[in-house]
């Protein structure tokens, strides 16, 4: 399971920006996320043992929804 800090840090890293530049309520597509970067995140999180689905994340491309999905216990 991921925590909020990890989701934010990993997303900022893949977008090549600082965490404080992320807008958790804005579309990640508008912040530079594309399918290649999303797939890289999915593979990273799967490698860490998180069950995550590309389609689930792509259909809700904002951090608040991702955090809710990825940190649920």
CATH class belonging to 2-68: mainly alpha
- Confidence (pLDDT) at 73: 52
- pTM assigned to the model: 0.92
Q: Is the dihedral of CA 9, 13, 18, 22 positive or negative?
A: negative
- Confidence (pLDDT) at 25: 84
Q: Please report, in tens digits, the pLDDT of each residue of the chain (73 residues total).
A: 799 999 999 999 999 999 999 998 899 999 999 999 999 999 999 999 999 999 999 999 999 999 999 997 5
- Distance between the two ends of the chain, CA-based, in angstroms? 7
CA distances from 32 to 2, 28, 48, 61, 64 (A): 22, 6, 24, 11, 16
DSSP string, 41-68: HHHHHHHTT----HHHHHTS-BHHHHHH
Q: Where are the domains of the chain?
A: 2-68
């Amino acid at each position: 399971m991921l925590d909020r800090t990890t989701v934010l840090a990993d997303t900022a890293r893949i977008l090549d920006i600082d965490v404080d530049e992320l807008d958790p309520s804005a579309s990640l597509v508008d912040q530079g996320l594309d399918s290649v970067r999303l797939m890289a995140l999915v593979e990273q999180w799967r490698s860490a043992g998180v069950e995550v689905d590309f389609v689930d994340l792509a259909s809700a491309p904002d951090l608040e929804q991702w955090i809710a999905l990825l940190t649920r216990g």
